[in-house]
Amino acid sequence: MIMADILKIFLLIVGLLTIYVSYWLIAQALFPSLVKRAQQHYSTPVKITLIGLVAAALPVIFGVVIANLPNPALKLAGVTLMVIPALLGLVGSAGLTLRIGAGLPAPSDDQQPWRRGLRGGILLALTFLLPFVGWIVLPLWTLVSGLGAFILSAKASTHPRMAEPPIINLTPATGEV
């Protein structure tokens, strides 16, 4: 194996891990309240993992079936059907990175709250370097549990709390008619 092959593999891995961290930071920047709710849902990891598995099963199965059809447009539709749950899982798993980053507080967190997500994202991405478990199990669990956290967080945002109705004074005013 020559040095070029080693560098190629090394840079591909570093690039992939950088992409993960970038998606988590983008999700935190674009959807801060959803990611904050997803962070809270990671207190029940088994529940969100099961919800994510159920939610991902149908699109992935249909996506594989459609992607194996001979029509190129259907192949694209099948791949898109498989990628959408993964992207939603990345948005939801940004809550996991926030949870990890919150466990490692720093004095600058008040001025730069995005650093929690960066710290947690880097640490989570580094766990993906562990052979076999980190290559397969952890990334898949992160995406599946992230999809479950996204679903629960998005569901919570669709039902906003009702504001208290204003108090109306129905007593007659004193004055001329």
Annotate the chain with DSSP letters as a single string: --HHHHHHHHHHHHHHHHHHHHHHHHHHHH-HHHHHHHHHHTTSHHHHHHHHHHHHHHHHHHHHHHHTSS-HHHHHHHHHHHHHHHHHHHHHHHHHHHHHHHTS--GGGTT-THHHHHHHHHHHHHHTTSTTIIIIIHHHHHHHHHHHHHHHHHHHHHSPPPPPPPP---SPPPS--
Residue 165 is assigned to a structural domain of this protein: no
User: Is 1 a member of any domain?
Assistant: no
Give a yes or no: residue 168 inside a domain. Answer: no
Residue at 123 is within a domain: yes
Residue 118 is predicted with a pLDDT of: 93
Whether 129 contacts 142, CB under 8 Å: no
Residue for token pair 């952890």: 138
- Report which residue type is found at 112: Q
- Rounded CA separation 101/21 (Å): 12
State whether the Cα torsion 96-137-76-51 is positive or negative. Answer: negative
Backbone angles phi, psi at 43, to 5 degrees: -75, -20
At residue 152, the pLDDT reads: 95
Query: How does pLDDT run across 30-89, given as a tens digit for each residue?
Result: 999 999 999 999 999 999 999 999 999 999 999 999 999 999 999 999 999 999 999 999
- Considering the domain boundaries, does residue 127 fall inside one? yes
Say how many domains are in the chain: 1
**Is 3 contained in some domain?**
no
> Could you tell me if residue 41 is inside a domain?
yes
Q: How far apart are CA 74 and CA 63, in angstroms?
A: 9
What average pLDDT does this structure show over 121-143?
94
Least confident of 29-43, 127-141, 156-170: 156-170
pLDDT at 113: 86
Residue 177 lies in a domain: no
Task: State pTM to two decimals.
Answer: 0.83
Give Cβ neighbours of residue 31 (< 8 Å, ≥ 6 apart).
91
Domain around 36: 14-157
